[in-house]
A and B are shown apart, each in its own frame.
Chain A
């Protein structure tokens, strides 16, 4: 396990809440009280199924929500600056220079009428990162080679690239201005297993070489186990569980995490029957009043239906939002600090 405890904190998200507005209806609470920390060099996996809010969370961090999205409360501290308090212009500076994103369905995020090289250069020029034309071209070539694409391909068009190569091009584009944090939104979901392995290998290599921190959004628990240091499990817009990867897989406390692990196939134990979770994820405009997982939880009891559990610390580095967990906890309030709070010794 790589040692991350002493690494400086880059991103701190506190009580983030995001709503989606629909005319004539009550706002849909897409995100409720999301808390997490990202340190330098850390890969945080954000896991959940459709509708859990993981993409909304990423878009909220980048302030790129669709027109009807509103961040209603919380703080997003990037190196001691609250990103939510910045003006549009300042946020535009932060985007790509400090925090870059590899979008879902990256294969379709490339403009088909411009060469790939030009699209990468666009990011560089937009941020005035480099102004000399020759240096820009050099940088583009450097980026392409960094992701394993030959320099000669910079003048090709996206349709001349294969799926895996397009994904690499998207990664190159994200790295154009040397960001500290990269948000990868389901970067390998649409790819074949072998290409996925190549891309994951590439991301791990880049993490080590460039000291990147990565927010890795996925629904694939296998990929999480391979790539991530810490894991944030989301359900229905809230954090179900948040801990380091070993804890999540070996001693999960939240019923959703436990059930999700049982639903996920493990090729090393092929005869184990897969178990599904009855029901389906909640619709954001029809959220249950109490715990959002209550309708499907095998351990549900009375309190779950009325009261939404808050994120409860289990031992300083492990958090779960479940009433069951709360009642068994022996941590007293003063010692339950958030992991990695800056200044903590």
Chain B
């Protein structure tokens, strides 16, 4: 791991969505606190796993990092430069450095375009490789790096002719063709069959070695990423509640939410007997956040003072952080 400055740094990022007023008399402006004060760094060549359930804000965070949603507050730094409010040409140039891999391989590809066109599209948009030959060469390279060999078999096919795993590789190839430095993978394997997930995961892990790409891997299924993630960040209701190296978080979880999550994630071992901490109820509405620690209504170890003050983000053990009063 490089000791240089991190490739991405996020400081106090907030993304709020205004809620539609239901009646004319609603005086108060309500907001969905999708991302509510998030700070973290992504190092060069690192795989950071961002874990959380639906509604925790992880996808919004990814979209905000890509500037597909404008941040409400806070800052995003790319290689030290402030890129929070880029627009126009500067934003387009930025796009070459951070690329996204989406969840749904069946929907991410335009059904009327050939694979070759889809992977070439980023080059066309950025006006790189102006002549056909150079473009084709780069497309072939990207397809093969994504594991679709020989590329010539795929260039003229349409998405519906490919399987889910192959389609996802096409999406990855489309992301790689611009030679980005960072990949944001938003649940890239959750819609694929179990038996082919590993090959996509291994591909993403290998990009670290072959191209030095840093990966922010967003998922709700910790199991898929545990074996190659360097660090894990756990999100709940718009905030990161725990962050640390993979083994540290898995073996010594600090935050009660992390502990509960780990205890209920199904393990393919029928002989395993463990205590399951099953939280009751559902994740509350991100519009009306609970006072104090936002986890306290469901927390199994909540104390009276948890309702009053928001816990601070502290380093509990070396390089292992959590926001909880009771740790």
**A residues with CB within 8 A of B:** 49-50, 162-165, 192-198, 201, 219-226, 245-246, 249-250, 259-261, 263-268, 270-278, 280-281
Chain A residue at smallest Cβ distance from B222: A267
Most buried by A among B53, B194, B247, B267: B194
**Quick check: B278 and A194 within 8 Å, CB to CB?**
yes
**Quick check: A267 and B195 within 8 Å, CB to CB?**
no
**Quick check: B226 and A276 within 8 Å, CB to CB?**
no
**Docked complex Cα distance between A332 and B271 (Å):** 31
Chain B residue at smallest Cβ distance from A198: B278
CB within 8 Å for A197 and B278 given contacts A219-B193, A267-B250, A267-B265: yes
**Quick check: A268 and B226 within 8 Å, CB to CB?**
no
Binary A-proximity of B267-289 (CB < 8 A = 1, otherwise 0)? 11111100010111011000000
**Quick check: B264 and A222 within 8 Å, CB to CB?**
no
**Docked complex Cα distance between A263 and B165 (Å):** 14
- The 8 Å CB contact of B227, one of A223, A249, A270, is A270
CB within 8 Å for A280 and B163 given contacts A194-B279, A263-B195, A271-B227: yes
Chain A residues, Cβ within 8 Å of B302: none
Q: Does B246 contact A (CB under 8 A)?
A: yes
B216-241 residues with Cβ-Cβ distance < 8 A to A are: 220-224, 226-227
Closest Cβ–Cβ distance, residue A283 to chain B (whole Å)? 9
Binary A-proximity of B181-195 (CB < 8 A = 1, otherwise 0)? 000000000000111
| Contact stretch, chosen from B90-98, B110-118, B196-204 | B196-204
**Quick check: B246 and A277 within 8 Å, CB to CB?**
no
**Quick check: B226 and A265 within 8 Å, CB to CB?**
yes
**B residues with CB within 8 A of A:** 53-54, 163-166, 193-199, 201-202, 220-224, 226-227, 246-247, 250, 260-262, 264-272, 276, 278-280, 282-283
Closest Cβ–Cβ distance, residue B255 to chain A (whole Å)? 14
Chain B residues, Cβ within 8 Å of A201: 276, 278
Chain B residues, Cβ within 8 Å of A267: 222-223, 226, 250, 262, 265, 267
Chain B residues, Cβ within 8 Å of A278: 199
**Docked complex Cα distance between A201 and B277 (Å):** 11
Chain A residues, Cβ within 8 Å of B282: 162-165, 195
**Docked complex Cα distance between A197 and B197 (Å):** 23
- The 8 Å CB contact of B198, one of A50, A226, A246, A275, is A275
Closest Cβ–Cβ distance, residue B164 to chain A (whole Å)? 8
Closest Cβ–Cβ distance, residue A9 to chain B (whole Å)? 23
**Quick check: A276 and B270 within 8 Å, CB to CB?**
no
- The 8 Å CB contact of B268, one of A50, A192, A222, A246, is A222
**Quick check: A268 and B267 within 8 Å, CB to CB?**
yes
CB within 8 Å for A249 and B220 given contacts A274-B227, A276-B196: no
Chain B residues, Cβ within 8 Å of A270: 226-227, 246-247, 250
Closest Cβ–Cβ distance, residue B129 to chain A (whole Å)? 32
- The 8 Å CB contact of A263, one of B166, B198, B261, B267, is B198
**Docked complex Cα distance between A270 and B232 (Å):** 12
Most buried by B among A195, A220, A250: A195
Chain B residues, Cβ within 8 Å of A264: 194, 223, 268
Seed contacts A198-B280, A201-B276, A225-B272; 7 additional CB < 8 Å A-B pairs = A193-B265, A195-B282, A225-B270, A263-B195, A265-B223, A272-B227, A280-B193
**Docked complex Cα distance between A267 and B261 (Å):** 11
Most buried by A among B221, B222, B266, B276: B266
A to B CB contacts below 8 Å, 21 in the list = A49-B195, A165-B282, A192-B53, A194-B260, A221-B194, A225-B266, A225-B268, A225-B272, A249-B269, A249-B270, A264-B194, A264-B223, A266-B223, A266-B268, A267-B226, A271-B226, A273-B227, A274-B197, A276-B195, A280-B164, A280-B193
**Quick check: A50 and B193 within 8 Å, CB to CB?**
yes
Closest Cβ–Cβ distance, residue B53 to chain A (whole Å)? 4
**Quick check: B227 and A261 within 8 Å, CB to CB?**
no
CB within 8 Å for A268 and B272 given contacts A192-B54, A220-B266, A277-B196: yes
Chain B residues, Cβ within 8 Å of A246: 270-271
**Docked complex Cα distance between A126 and B215 (Å):** 54
Closest Cβ–Cβ distance, residue A234 to chain B (whole Å)? 13
**Docked complex Cα distance between A179 and B166 (Å):** 43
Closest 9 CB pairs of A and B: A222-B266, A265-B223, A276-B198, A274-B198, A197-B264, A270-B226, A192-B53, A276-B199, A221-B268
Most buried by B among A197, A246, A250, A275: A197
**Quick check: B276 and A197 within 8 Å, CB to CB?**
yes
Chain B residue at smallest Cβ distance from A275: B198
**Docked complex Cα distance between A273 and B261 (Å):** 22
Chain B residue at smallest Cβ distance from A188: B266
Closest Cβ–Cβ distance, residue A228 to chain B (whole Å)? 8
**Docked complex Cα distance between A292 and B220 (Å):** 32
Closest Cβ–Cβ distance, residue B278 to chain A (whole Å)? 5
Closest Cβ–Cβ distance, residue B61 to chain A (whole Å)? 17
**Docked complex Cα distance between A201 and B264 (Å):** 10
**Docked complex Cα distance between A270 and B265 (Å):** 13
**Docked complex Cα distance between A161 and B146 (Å):** 42
Chain B residues, Cβ within 8 Å of A221: 194, 266, 268
Chain A residues, Cβ within 8 Å of B222: 267
Chain A residue at smallest Cβ distance from B250: A270
Chain A residues, Cβ within 8 Å of B195: 49, 259-260, 263, 276-277, 281
**Docked complex Cα distance between A220 and B193 (Å):** 10
CB within 8 Å for A276 and B202 given contacts A192-B53, A270-B247: yes
Chain B residue at smallest Cβ distance from A50: B193
**Docked complex Cα distance between A246 and B270 (Å):** 6
**Quick check: A249 and B268 within 8 Å, CB to CB?**
yes
Chain B residues, Cβ within 8 Å of A274: 197-198, 201-202, 224, 227
Chain B residues, Cβ within 8 Å of A197: 264, 276, 278
Most buried by B among A49, A194, A201, A260: A194
- The 8 Å CB contact of A225, one of B198, B201, B269, is B269
